[in-house]
Structure 1
Amino acid sequence: MYKVCFVDDEIINYQLFEKMVPWEEKGFQIVGTAADGQEALQMYERLQPDLIFMDIQLPLLDGLECIRCIREENQDVQIVIVSAYSDFSYAQKAIRYGVQDFLLKPVSRMMLNQQVDKIKKTLDSRCRQEKNRDLYSNPYTDEMNQIFACISQNADGKMPPYKYLSEMKALYRLILRPLTGDEAPAARMKELTAGLASQPVVSEGLDLIFILSGTSLYLGYGDAVPDESAAQAIIAFFRENDYAAELYLWKLEESTWPLCDFLTRSYSQENYGFYEKYGSVYKLEDYPFQDTELKAPLDGLIVAALAENTPESLISLIDGQFNKARLEQISPRLLKNFALDVLVKIKFGLKKFAPEESFHLMRNLRMEKIYDTVSCDVLKRFLCRRIEEAFDELDHTMRKAGKGEHAVFRANSFAELKFSDPGFSVQMAADFIGISKNYFTSLYKEKTGIGYWDYVTQLRMQKAKELLTTTDDTIGTVARQIGYESEYHFSRKFKEYTGQSPNRYRRHS
């Protein structure tokens, strides 16, 4: 049984979670709950759970800081953020801390069960890897064990890895990426490596082949260090088989043993050929990338695209950002962060404006797919495909929902885009949708049960609460950021909405 814990200052929330999932049937046991951040850290130390559902807004220590503390000690525990706050800054920080997902309250039963099933698969896979690693226990490091556990082929069909490695004079690391389609399955990788080993210029002195994944393998040479002709032959071989190959070469001596230092560094090295089409041979002495963050006006563009159900302008911006990254040789890690940011923002927009159950395609952001990608072109294709799929799903849902629900969706999206404008009005929303003001207000009230301006006020007040608790901005600045020109008018409306003045709310949050 895997151990699961809940952290939320409202007991009813984790009571609902307990009832919504058949935990024991799925292989989980609820072992603890906590109502504040400090209690959560103590619970984690005591119980060492496999899975934690964590609220963000907690007394004493907020959820993000709690996660940061846990991550300093343990990178493996599965953490899912559950929050009523939809501000992207929360999700962005949570992603940087390595959370598995970010769920917006209220969470549907189906969505929660899908998330638990996904995490169960991850935990099961980790257990299998640990069992395999135990089969190859040795005096070196865990990284070494991981590599040996993944060996699936070597030159003579036997597997005495320590003897081989201690006699290696050179080691090639290859990162492969498909020129078309996805990475090769394991059977295809074995076929490719066998074909590579049969090439005369490559096979001379070749003693060992490590297959780590569908994109990474090692070639070990014991008799002679391969020359430039061998490197070019490897690149040509994989290119003929629709793969680009990056090669990193280490010349090994007895003084550099244990070899695990080299393997560990090479295994985690950011691929230098990310922007290259066909691959090349690389030296690791000089880091070739710029650590420059990509900044783009995503928020407004995404909301506008959702309101109009037209992703073309968003895809055009992405194309420009990828071209900029290639031209300026921006770190692949930062470009991958940008890609994930785009998908998270779209996911939040879909959840905010339409029924969560409708958008299956955006529930799994495939973070591992993004960060495992070794090619700029493949990453761009993946990102654009996911965006197109999301908008196709949106179009299908809106057509199925009917004219009234479509109007509500577009009106809510438009409000998200314009609520910070002091001149925003109901008439502007009606004009945007293309119907009269009177018909729009009655239709909106019929479909949602509240007036449109009540919804706009809710948006403004929710944003005000987030700004008051996450920034040191003055009350006047907060008022202007959410569309109020008068600080007095904002304060009066905020107290009417929350029962507290802005200052009091800030002091007690």
Structure 2
Amino acid sequence: MYKVCFVDDETINYQLFEKMVPWEEKGFQVVGTAADGLEALRMYERLQPDLIFMDIQLPLMDGLECVRCIREENQDVQIVIVSAYSDFSYAQKAIRYGVQDFLLKPVSRMMLNQQVDKIRKTLDARQKPEKSRDICSNPYVDEMNQVFACISQNVEGGPPPLKHLPEIKTMYHLVLRPILGEEVSAAEMKKLTAELAALPAVAGHLDMIFSLTGTSLYLGSGCTFSDEPAMQSIIGFYRKNDYAAEIYAWKNGKSTWPLYEFLARSSSQENYGFYEKYGKVYEIEEYPFLDTELYTAPLDGLIVAALSENSPERLLDFIASQFFYARNQMISPRLLKNFVLDVLVKIKFCLKKFAPEESFFLMRNLRMEKIYDTVSCEALNGFLCLKIKEAFGELEHKILQAGKGEHVVFRANSFAELKFSDPGFSVQMAADFIGISKNYFTSLYKEKAGLGYWDYVTQLRMQKAKELLATTDDTVGAVARRIGYESEYHFSRKFKEYTGQSPNQYRRHS
């Protein structure tokens, strides 16, 4: 049984979670709950759970800070953030801290069970790491399996007792990248490795180790040899089969790292050939990338504009410019992947605000591991652009199916999301944007949405005000201006009508 814990200051929330999932059937046991961040840390240290559902707004220590503290000790525990706040800055921080997902309350039974099933598969894979398949029989392979198992389970204190590993003088970690965009399967990897073993330049080194872990290949030898012809033969062999072979080299006496550290690092590092079309041999100590964050400020406006216009062209142009910059500056692939995830999650959040049903279905196949497992710039760019085009294509189809009235509501809501912070925003502006008269627009909107358009705009502003009051130290006047009110008095009066509390009262109790 895997151990699961809930952290939420509202008891009813984790009681609902306990009832919504058949935990024991899915292989989990609920072992603990906590109501604040400090209690959550103590619970984690005491119980060492496999899975934690964590709220953000907690007393004493907020959920994200709690996640950061846990991650300093353990990179493997599965953490899912659950929050009532859709502000993307929360999701962005959560992603940086390596959470498995970010769920917005209220969470449906279906989505929660899907999340638990996905995490169960991840935990099972770690419990039963794929056994390495040796192509060339030799005495090192079982020992290599022990090393990989040790690495995957994050065992502290160094490798297990090893007899033969110190005898290895040369080791290579080979990673394949599909030149044509098709992912390499484990079966294909095994087939190609068997063919590789028969190459004269490779077969001449009879004591070479071939050890497969997933879609990576480890090659080693008990002697030091002139390896340039062999490495070029390997690169050429895979290129003929439409794969770029990146090879990371370790040689006893030349590397500053012991072999075990090389194996551990090479199994989790960024691939150095991310921006190159074809592979080559790399020295793992020579890190080639810049750790510079990409520019994301225009994303919110571009995404909302794309949704309101139902055209992602300007958004795609901006994405292309960021990929061009990343390639030219050799930005860390990890940071470019963070940017890709930012784009997709921001689209999902925008959809959730004014098309909640579509937000699940349009982005249902979004998986962080798909992004972070991508090993080439071209494949990552293609994946992101395809996701965006599919989402907008399906959205257009759903809008056309729904009819003119629903189309007007969708475009008007997304336009409000784009313009609500403008003090001069008006119903007339929305009608002009859609291209119909103001009177027809207001009557059609109310008929289809069930409320007046300006009521919707006010709800949007008040919801944003609640988030700002709860999560920032901005003055009430500053909050008013950020959501489109020039008068603090007018905003405070409207906020009290909407919530029953003044802004300051709401802030004190949030």
TM-score, reference length from structure 2: 0.89
The answer to which of 362-371 and 43-52 deviates more is 43-52
The answer to which of 222-231 and 176-185 deviates more is 222-231
SS at match of 1:129: coil
Q: Deviations over 1:89-133 (max 9, x none)?
A: 00001111111111122222222222222122222222223999x
Equivalence for 1:154? none
Offset, 1:287: 2.6
Equivalence for 1:243? 243
Q: Deviations over 1:20-61 (max 9, x none)?
A: 333333233333333332333333334333222222222232
User: Using a 3 Å threshold, how does the CA distance of structure 1 residues 329 and 52 change in structure 2: closer, same or farther?
Assistant: same
Structure 1 gaps of 5+ residues are: 150-160
Q: How do 1:209-288 residues align onto structure 2 when only pairs under 5 Å count?
A: 209-214=210-215, 216-253=216-253, 259-288=259-288
Equivalence for 2:325? 324
1:17 aligns to 2:17 (yes or no): yes
Offset, 1:371: 1.3
Aligned partners of 2:147 and 2:398: how far apart in 1? 46
Q: What code does the residue aligned with 1:67 have?
A: V
1:145 aligns to 2:179 (yes or no): no
1:67 aligns to 2:67 (yes or no): yes
The answer to which of 221-230 and 58-67 deviates more is 221-230
Offset, 1:253: 4.4
User: Using a 3 Å threshold, how does the CA distance of structure 1 residues 203 and 20 change in structure 2: closer, same or farther?
Assistant: same
Q: What code does the residue aligned with 1:15 have?
A: Q
Q: How do 1:85-484 residues align onto structure 2 when only pairs under 5 Å count?
A: 85-129=85-129, 144-146=148-150, 164-205=164-205, 206-214=207-215, 216-253=216-253, 259-296=259-296, 297-356=298-357, 359-484=360-485
User: Using a 3 Å threshold, how does the CA distance of structure 1 residues 257 and 355 change in structure 2: closer, same or farther?
Assistant: closer
The answer to which of 373-382 and 268-277 deviates more is 268-277
Offset, 1:144: 4.3
8 Å Cα contact 1:175/1:247 also seen in 2: yes
Aligned partners of 1:226 and 1:284: how far apart in 2? 19
Equivalence for 1:54? 54
Structure 2 gaps of 5+ residues are: 133-139, 154-160
Offset, 1:416: 0.9
Aligned partners of 1:130 and 1:193: how far apart in 2? 17
SS at match of 2:129: helix
Question: What is the total number of aligned residue pairs between the two structures?
Answer: 494
Q: Deviations over 1:281-304 (max 9, x none)?
A: 223443322222110311011111
Offset, 1:256: 7.7
User: Using a 3 Å threshold, how does the CA distance of structure 1 residues 257 and 471 change in structure 2: closer, same or farther?
Assistant: closer
8 Å Cα contact 2:358/2:395 also seen in 1: no
1:7 aligns to 2:11 (yes or no): no
Q: Deviations over 1:433-461 (max 9, x none)?
A: 23332232233333333322222122222
Equivalence for 1:152? none
Aligned partners of 1:284 and 1:305: how far apart in 2? 42
The answer to which of 411-420 and 387-396 deviates more is 387-396
Q: Deviations over 1:325-382 (max 9, x none)?
A: 1111111111111111111111112222213366335134221121122211111111
Offset, 1:88: 0.4
User: Using a 3 Å threshold, how does the CA distance of structure 1 residues 438 and 35 change in structure 2: closer, same or farther?
Assistant: farther
SS at match of 1:268: coil
Aligned partners of 2:70 and 2:120: how far apart in 1? 20
8 Å Cα contact 1:304/1:414 also seen in 2: yes
Equivalence for 1:157? none
Q: What code does the residue aligned with 1:282 have?
A: Y
SS at match of 1:359: helix
8 Å Cα contact 2:465/2:480 also seen in 1: yes
Q: How do 1:37-48 residues align onto structure 2 when only pairs under 5 Å count?
A: 37-48=37-48
Aligned partners of 1:280 and 1:57: how far apart in 2? 48
Aligned partners of 1:66 and 1:471: how far apart in 2? 19
User: Using a 3 Å threshold, how does the CA distance of structure 1 residues 117 and 414 change in structure 2: closer, same or farther?
Assistant: same
8 Å Cα contact 1:347/1:363 also seen in 2: no
Aligned partners of 1:298 and 1:89: how far apart in 2? 13
Aligned partners of 1:137 and 1:59: how far apart in 2? 51
Offset, 1:181: 3.2
Aligned partners of 2:353 and 2:236: how far apart in 1? 49
Q: What code does the residue aligned with 2:77 have?
A: V
User: Using a 3 Å threshold, how does the CA distance of structure 1 residues 341 and 489 change in structure 2: closer, same or farther?
Assistant: same
User: Using a 3 Å threshold, how does the CA distance of structure 1 residues 458 and 368 change in structure 2: closer, same or farther?
Assistant: same
Q: What code does the residue aligned with 2:175 have?
A: I
Aligned partners of 2:406 and 2:255: how far apart in 1? 71
Q: What code does the residue aligned with 1:32 have?
A: G
Offset, 1:146: 4.5
SS at match of 1:421: coil
Aligned partners of 2:80 and 2:402: how far apart in 1? 30
Give the aligned CA root-mean-square deviation in angstroms. 2.9
Offset, 1:225: 2.1
Q: What code does the residue aligned with 2:227 have?
A: D
User: Using a 3 Å threshold, how does the CA distance of structure 1 residues 138 and 75 change in structure 2: closer, same or farther?
Assistant: farther
8 Å Cα contact 2:126/2:152 also seen in 1: no
Offset, 1:143: 5.5
Q: Deviations over 1:449-483 (max 9, x none)?
A: 33222221222222222223333333332222111
Aligned partners of 2:30 and 2:59: how far apart in 1? 22
User: Using a 3 Å threshold, how does the CA distance of structure 1 residues 137 and 464 change in structure 2: closer, same or farther?
Assistant: farther
User: Using a 3 Å threshold, how does the CA distance of structure 1 residues 71 and 374 change in structure 2: closer, same or farther?
Assistant: same
SS at match of 2:128: helix
Q: What code does the residue aligned with 2:69 have?
A: C
Aligned partners of 1:20 and 1:257: how far apart in 2? 49
User: Using a 3 Å threshold, how does the CA distance of structure 1 residues 361 and 490 change in structure 2: closer, same or farther?
Assistant: closer
8 Å Cα contact 2:56/2:63 also seen in 1: yes
Aligned partners of 2:461 and 2:147: how far apart in 1? 50
The answer to which of 122-131 and 192-201 deviates more is 122-131
